A and B are shown apart, each in its own frame.
Chain A
Amino acid sequence: DAGVIQSPRHEVTEMGQEVTLRCKPISGHNSLFWYRQTMMRGLELLIYFNNNVPIDDSGMPEDRFSAKMPNASFSTLKIQPSEPRDSAVYFCASGHQGSGANVLTFGAGSRLTVL
């Protein structure tokens, strides 16, 4: 298995532009998580899905952020419009909910810089 695949690995954009981050979870995993990592705030959970259904989006900072999981093999995190304070590394992770211990595997991350 190729693991959790994220794209793009790096994105530099200007304030106000739309940003779309993509994630392909590990085949067979039924839960998917989006995290944001910054030096100041550490690893923050933004939203997570079980069986493609959003379960908890309380970590999504503002309405500018949205996430979708149209099927079991693909998810997107969109920021529109982007702001400089959105600059961070965004990680996607997948796991197997219901196993008694949801071991998460992280993707390589998408480093976003908003100028």
Chain B
Amino acid sequence: GENVEQHPSTLSVQEGDSAVIKCTYSDSASNYFPWYKQELGKRPQLIIDIRSNVGEKKDQRIAVTLNKTAKHFSLHITETQPEDSAVYFCAADPQSSGDKLTFGTGTRLAVRP
């Protein structure tokens, strides 16, 4: 089955700086890669996703890049704000297994004001 590794597990940045979270996956059949944000005590919510036919996608201050050859993808947050503080999860979806998302272990991001 798919295996997703996520790094770092914790990340602390100064407000206004950039944050980068990296994930690797094992199943070359995976072709959909969403990112979820989970604030304390809340549910995970989709913030951005990318499909395998695209190398990069951007939505305001967040962007995701995908390298299918190396089987890794990354989340980039620019001009971080305190409200960006949360746990971020990457996931991979190998269509061959019926759209079963496999999640990374999460990155706890703290943005220092």
Q: Which residues of A contact B (CB under 8 A)?
A: 31, 33, 42-43, 45, 48, 50, 55-56, 91, 95, 97-98, 100-109
Contact = CB atoms under 8 A, between A and B. Distances in A.
Residue of A50, A103, A107 with highest tally of chain B CB at under 10 A: A103
24 contacts: A42-B105, A42-B106, A45-B100, A45-B101, A45-B102, A45-B103, A48-B98, A48-B100, A50-B98, A55-B98, A56-B98, A56-B100, A91-B43, A97-B99, A100-B95, A101-B49, A102-B93, A102-B99, A103-B49, A104-B34, A104-B46, A104-B101, A106-B36, A107-B43
A16 B102 CA distance: 31
Contact of B44 (A43, A45, A50, A103): A43
A108 B39 CA distance: 12
A42 B43 contact: no
Given A31-B99, A103-B34, 12 more contacts: A43-B89, A91-B44, A95-B99, A97-B99, A100-B32, A101-B32, A101-B49, A101-B93, A102-B32, A103-B49, A105-B46, A108-B42
Contacts of A95: 99
Contacts of A103: 34, 46, 49
Interface size class on chain B is 20 to 34
Interface in B1-60: 32, 34, 36, 42-46, 49, 51
A55 B100 CA distance: 10
